[in-house]
Amino acid sequence: MPTYTFKVHRTGNLAVPCSVPWQLEGAGANPIPGSAFLGGVLPSGIANFAADAVLAQPSFELLAGTRPALSQTGRLILRAPVGCKIDPAADRHALTLKGQDVPVSDDLYEPIRLADLPPSRRTDVTTLGTRTGAAGENFVLTQDVSGATLNLGGPGKLGQEIVFRGDTDSSAATGLRTLTNCTINIVGDFCGLARLVLRNCRIQINNRSCFVTRCELTNFTATKTSDDMLDVDAGEKSARFSCHKCDLSNRLGPNKGAIFSKTEALEMVFAYNLVDKHEKHGFSGSSFLVYYGSSEDTTNIKSLFNVHHNLFVDCDMNDLVEIKASDMDWHDNTTERCGNSGLRIRHGRRNKLRRNLFLEAGSTALITVRTGPHEITENQARTGSGAAGAGNIILYAGKLHWDYEVWKDQRVPGAENNWQATGQCLVLGNDMPVINGRESCGTNQCFHEYLATDNNVGPNSGPSRNRSVKLEYDQGTKRTAVSGYDIDTPLTRMVRGAVGLRAP
């Protein structure tokens, strides 16, 4: 069983023995209960000091088992000493049993089960309005709402998030409270939404470390002031926003279909979501689910945008993502029956596209790359039965130089210069054909004034090879094996039971 040992020190006249009783007490909003210990009672004992001893180290045992749902707090109290005195400034010691509400390593907040939510942290509401909570407060919606505005704020903290949530823990959208045609503004730190159906609702994120989790976002139309479902303010103000374990479904065109449109927020996470049936239809412009950055001027943003373990199904867009910034990591996602929708690196540096699985995709380019350096590794195209599938990877030649320090002086400000070449990209272990140096075409002409330069597209054989490689307008191309990349790496196929509302 887990053992907890603490120290009691003494000073002064050490020639005499003495003793001091100690007792663990529950404290705070969620106090440690006696049920966490042997015998079902809070532990107690005596710290004994022999003559000349300066240190006693009492200990007690906790029951083995799973962590509590919520972190629990208490304090060790010293009382009624025998043969000595207690320093009033050192008569107690804080103790915390960490619960499941402590974020996991990838910082994906998990809503607390209602059955485990202490009454002191629960406030039942029937309307939206302005809700300013104390740290750890949960506003629990007990009826459906339509056509209203929610302003959610307050000084939330890590492990004490302020949550506006539904009144069930259902993993099916049919069991959750529904907001219809509502506007939601999240204006506090560590504030978020959980366990709600958000039907044609637009969510504005205005502060740091906020989240939307265990929600369904559905039936979003283009009638709002912007095309994006999640509008995240740019820059550090809204850093570390996370959308995870949500269903984002049924956004049918004609519209852009964007989830994030021209966002520039830093350190966003989009993980373990089900994105289902987002379609461009009759929209005349380019359409993307995720559009990070807005122009060549956003190239230098170090986004740290982390997109992982999502399932994209029946999303017929121009592409799933267009990235016009740096340091995005799009990895371990499954894209199924999304036609020619793929991943597009337009500007930026150090972006990564890793271990993504394309199932039943179209036969054109699924990954297109400009600029560099970037990492494109261990992506696979498969049929539904697991055989080699259609779709390829294109590394472009272009009208403009690939290197930022050269290109920034070549471009015309405001002209959306997209015709850059690629350079110094690592493209290894992909079970997809790779075309290195494809011409950039636009306005009825093709460009290869600048060649695809110094890309490593791997050897013809061995684990880090690609399915095939075709060289067109290129120079300095490396065909070098690199350990740690394997074309036969088994990729996890994300399925509905592992993502979205039903995720573990």
- What is the per-residue pLDDT across 28-65, written as a single tens digit (0 to 9) for each? 667 888 878 877 888 899 989 898 888 888 887 777 65
Residue 2 has pLDDT above 70, yes or no: no
Token output for 447: 């460009």
What's residue 352's pLDDT? 98
Whether a cis peptide bond, with omega within 30° of 0, leads into 2 is no
What's residue 4's pLDDT? 75
Pairing of strands 55-56, 8-9: antiparallel
Distances (CA, A) of 477 to 45, 350, 397, 451, 487: 73, 18, 12, 10, 20
Structure confidence at residue 449 as a pLDDT band (50, 70, 90): very high
Please determine, looking at this structure, whether the domain spanning 3-97 carries the CATH number 2.60.40.2030: yes
What's residue 370's pLDDT? 96
Average pLDDT over residues 349-364: 95
Contact 367, 353 (CB under 8 A): yes
How far apart (Å, rounded) are the C-alpha atoms in residues 209 and 193?
12
Q: Tell me the CB-side half-sphere exposure of residue 342, using CA atoms within 13 A.
A: 26
Q: Tell me the CB-side half-sphere exposure of residue 429, using CA atoms within 13 A.
A: 24
How far apart (Å, rounded) are the C-alpha atoms in residues 191 and 234?
17
Structure confidence at residue 224 as a pLDDT band (50, 70, 90): very low
Domain residue extents for the chain: 3-97, 102-219
DSSP-derived 3-state class of residue 45: strand
Structure confidence at residue 344 as a pLDDT band (50, 70, 90): very high
- What is the per-residue pLDDT across 246-291, written as a single tens digit (0 to 9) for each? 999 987 666 677 888 888 999 999 999 999 988 776 677 778 899 9
- What is the per-residue pLDDT across 471-499, written as a single tens digit (0 to 9) for each? 999 999 999 999 999 999 899 999 998 99
What's residue 104's pLDDT? 37
